[in-house]
Amino acid sequence: MMSFQQVWEWPAGLYLFLGGLAAGAFVAASLLRLLRLKGQEPAVAVSYWLSVVCLAGGLLALLYELGRPERGVQVWVSFSNGSSWMAFGAWVVVLAFSVFLLAAILSIPSLAQALALRWEWFGDYLEHMRTAASVLGSVLALLVACYTGMLLKGAEGVPFWDSWLLPALFAVSAMAAGANAVAMISVATGCVRWLPLRVRRRIILVVMVLTVVEGTILAAYLLVMADGGGGAFAAQRAAAAASADALVSGAYAGQFWIMVVVTGLVASLALSAASCLLKGRAGGLVLAVGSVCALSGECALRFLVLFAGIHADYVVGALITIL
Amino acid sequence: MGGAGASNSSSRRSFVASCLGVSGAFAASLLSGCSFSLRDFLESPARIYFGQSESANFSPSASSQDLPYEVGSSTTFPASEGKQYGFWMDASSCIGCGSCVSACREASCTPENAEGRRRLLLYEMAHDEKRFVSLSCLHCAEPACVRVCPAGAVTKRADGIVVVDREACIGCRYCRQACPFDVPRYRDGVMDKCDYCLGAGIAPGRQPHCVKSCPSGALKHGTMDDLLDFSKGLASPVAAPTGPSLLVS
């Protein structure tokens, strides 16, 4: 029988989640900042720092997965293979981390003021630097979000990952995770009370649309893979179908339906919608619980897509040909 | 994660999977309307099904000190252009003795607790018929391992032999995920795979140890053109996206 890939384990799954969460949280926080919504500065600052910590955690998880972590730096130093998504992604992640860190430092008012007192020019350009960091960081964050999917897509030995729908799914899922994380932070820091109900509802609507789009792409991805994934070889189609089978009705079905579909999509959507109808503290609390559900689902999605990967067996196809 | 760590990997995976969610009793059947399924593939006219067994029990019998030559580097021998070396695996005459696996482990000084470069796969067919396929690196025409390696540690020589620079490998295992045949192995944290015994002192085109050890002559080595001519149409190239250099009969 076919067996699931054992090459990459939980550290890779953790990286896929943390990388996506960092990217999504940075984009969501940057939008809050660029829209200059009243009273959201603390939420933006905490979100930026969350992005920094998550991306650093993801990088550490990747290093832990390496057979020779001490050589990991060679990826950045040599950059000797432009056709490798991992080489490309490693640079994108480090650039993103640098800009995320800059944005996070600039988001601390006391620190920014201290620097402005020391260098006059710093105070003059502070807002410009904040805006530049937000915009550039958001572009890099989008690349990081796509890269988490491209990393798996590039591993073409596993047909289940060899689809453009996967980076699309991971990118949208990352944005949804980030938006939910920022919503949760906004509730936790009390910033949500500064948002007019109309604005709050619009933000929640955006989060809900992202969740619906994510669910749609996930369904399309699984249907395509269950149908063989469009591979040119029977071995590819068999492996892709077996992986989809494992998620939908096989070894990982329980986790998939409970964590990804029910908790991550349905429950988070329902709670987000409910939070629009509730006012005051109750609305914020329901929104936060919905966000926790969404984050759990996003995390489970990445682990399960990783774990369900199956290598194609082309030898059996050759044996069929000669017999 | 190698064979030695397989059980640990499985238990870790089970733990993480358990953490992700409690087992559910309900699972919808999205697959029910699909036109293609694993079952269709396995119940094809040839009725082959998977019965794959790794040859983990073939133990090495020598260390580098016992070898009659110095274990060298794949770069010892210059590559001559215009050739593509490969293997011809005659599954109909392989007796599954595992000599090729043992010889490979010995020649490459593979430690006992490490996965070997070569493995023997058992395919159980209809009517209890069995076919053994001895498999190592297939030195593909367009190797996925070369394409994905972030450190540029895997390269394809002019004579088609795919070699790895173990000093440059960072051990990310991207090559193994990308390889259509799950070939790359990891020793001391870095990639290790067949180089047609270049590292063991065998010049390109000469018979590697696995071929020399085969008692039934089921495993042959040469240029792909020569192998195709020699097989007189009895053998078929293994079809995969990367163009592997392997004939099977």
pLDDT digit string, tens, across residues B159-216: 889 999 998 999 999 999 999 999 999 988 899 999 999 999 998 889 999 999 999 9
Say if residue A6's pLDDT is above 80.
yes
Residue of chain B minimizing CA distance to A307: B13
Q: How far is A244 from chain B, CA to nearest CA, in Å?
A: 8
pLDDT the model gives residue A280: 75
Q: Do A234 and B41 touch (CB under 8 A)?
A: yes
Cβ of A306 under 8 Å from any chain B Cβ? no
Cβ of B125 under 8 Å from any chain A Cβ? yes
pLDDT the model gives residue B46: 32
Cβ of A80 under 8 Å from any chain B Cβ? yes
Residues A55-65: pLDDT tens digits?
999 999 988 98
Rounded distance, CA A53 to CA A94, Å? Answer: 13
Q: Which of A252, A232, A254 is nearest to A242 (CA)?
A: A252
Q: Is the dihedral of CA A235, A236, A241, A244 positive or negative?
A: positive
Q: Do A9 and B9 touch (CB under 8 A)?
A: yes
The CA radius of gyration of chain A, in Å to the nearest whole number, is 21
Written in H, E and C, the secondary structure of B9-57 is HHHHHHHHHHHHCCCCCCCCCHHHHCCCCHHHHHCCCCCCECCCCCCCC
pLDDT the model gives residue B18: 53
Residues B85-137: pLDDT tens digits?
999 999 989 999 999 999 999 999 999 888 999 999 998 877 777 889 999 99
Q: Do A318 and B24 touch (CB under 8 A)?
A: no
What count of other Cβ atoms lies within 10 Å of the Cβ of residue A289? 18
Share of chain A above pLDDT 90, in %: 68
Q: Do A320 and B46 touch (CB under 8 A)?
A: yes
User: Mean pLDDT, chain A, as a whole number?
Assistant: 92
Chain A residue numbers with beta carbons less than 8 Å from the beta carbon of B44 are 234, 320
Would strands B119-124 and B236-237 be described as parallel, antiparallel, or unpaired?
unpaired
- The beta-carbon neighbor of A223 closest among B6, B30, B190 is B30
pLDDT the model gives residue B28: 34
Would strands B185-187 and B162-164 be described as parallel, antiparallel, or unpaired?
unpaired
Cβ of B20 under 8 Å from any chain A Cβ? yes
B101 secondary structure, DSSP code: H
Lowest mean pLDDT among A143-152, A191-200, A244-253: A191-200
Rounded distance, CA A150 to CA A134, Å? Answer: 24
Rounded distance, CA A212 to CA A178, Å? Answer: 15
Reported as type and span, the H/E element at residue B154 is strand B154-156
Which A residues 205-234 touch B at CB under 8 Å? 222-223, 226-228, 232-234
Residue of chain A minimizing CA distance to B185: A7
Say if residue B3's pLDDT is above 90.
no
Q: Which of B241, B112, B138 is nearest to B196 (CA)?
A: B138
Residues B100-111: pLDDT tens digits?
999 999 999 999
The pLDDT of A209-232, averaged and rounded, is 95
Q: Which of B210, B9, B238 is nearest to A312 (CA)?
A: B238
Residue A312 structure tokens: 């194609």
Say if residue B32's pLDDT is above 60.
no
C-alpha separations of B107 from A75, A116, A244, B56, B65 in Å: 31, 67, 41, 17, 11
pLDDT the model gives residue B14: 55
Q: Are A179 and A28 in contact (CB under 8 A)?
A: yes
ipTM: 0.89
Rounded distance, CA A221 to CA B37, Å? Answer: 16
Residue A85 structure tokens: 């998504």
The pLDDT of A226-245, averaged and rounded, is 93
Residues paired with B237 in a beta bridge: B247
Q: How far is CA A208 from the centre of its chain?
A: 16
Chain B residue numbers with beta carbons less than 8 Å from the beta carbon of A236 are 241
In this predicted model, which residue has the larger pLDDT, B44 or B20? B20
Chain A residue numbers with beta carbons less than 8 Å from the beta carbon of B28 are 248-249, 257
Q: Are B155 and B198 in contact (CB under 8 A)?
A: no
Rounded distance, CA B68 to CA B55, Å? Answer: 26
The pLDDT of A166-188, averaged and rounded, is 95
Grouping H, G, I as helix, E, B as strand and the rest as coil, residue B248 is strand
Q: Which of A6, A27, A15, A12 is nearest to A55 (CA)?
A: A15
Rounded distance, CA A167 to CA A161, Å? Answer: 9
Say if residue A83's pLDDT is above 90.
no
Reported as type and span, the H/E element at residue A215 is helix A197-226
Helix-helix angle A85-106:A41-65, to 10 degrees: 150
Residues A37-67 as b or e (16 or more Cβ within 10 Å = b): beebbbbbbbbbbbbbbbbebbbebbbebbb
pLDDT the model gives residue A319: 82
Would strands B85-89 and B246-248 be described as parallel, antiparallel, or unpaired?
parallel
Cβ of B132 under 8 Å from any chain A Cβ? no
pLDDT the model gives residue A250: 94
pLDDT the model gives residue A10: 94
Residue B147 structure tokens: 């394409």
Which B residues 94-123 touch A at CB under 8 Å? 121, 123
Give the confidence band of B27 by pLDDT, cuts at 50, 70, 90: very low
Residues paired with B133 in a beta bridge: B121
Grouping H, G, I as helix, E, B as strand and the rest as coil, residue B187 is strand
Residue of chain A minimizing CA distance to B186: A67
**Which residue type sits at A22?**
A
Residue of chain A minimizing CA distance to B149: A84
The pLDDT of A202-225, averaged and rounded, is 95
Say if residue A2's pLDDT is above 80.
no
The pLDDT of A117-141, averaged and rounded, is 91
The pLDDT of A274-278, averaged and rounded, is 87
Say if residue A39's pLDDT is above 80.
yes
Q: How far is CA B138 from the centre of its chain?
A: 7
Grouping H, G, I as helix, E, B as strand and the rest as coil, residue B124 is strand
Q: Is the dihedral of CA B219, B220, B221, B223 positive or negative?
A: negative
Share of chain B above pLDDT 90, in %: 47
pLDDT the model gives residue B22: 37
Residues A290-317: pLDDT tens digits?
999 999 999 999 999 999 999 999 988 7
In sequence order, which residues have a C-beta less than 8 Å from that of residue A131 and are 6 or more positions away? A34
pLDDT the model gives residue B188: 87
C-alpha separations of B193 from A309, A320, B19, B97 in Å: 22, 27, 35, 21
Say if residue B67's pLDDT is above 70.
no
Q: How far is B244 from chain A, CA to nearest CA, in Å?
A: 10
Helix-helix angle A197-226:A280-307, to 10 degrees: 20
Chain B residue numbers with beta carbons less than 8 Å from the beta carbon of A303 are 16-17, 20
The pLDDT of A43-54, averaged and rounded, is 96
pLDDT the model gives residue B77: 57
Q: Do B17 and A303 touch (CB under 8 A)?
A: yes
- The beta-carbon neighbor of A318 closest among B170, B173, B248 is B248
Q: Which of B55, B58, B54, B46 is nearest to B129 (CA)?
A: B46
In sequence order, which residues have a C-beta less than 8 Å from that of residue A300 and are 6 or more positions away? A255, A256, A259, A260, A263, A264, B20, B21
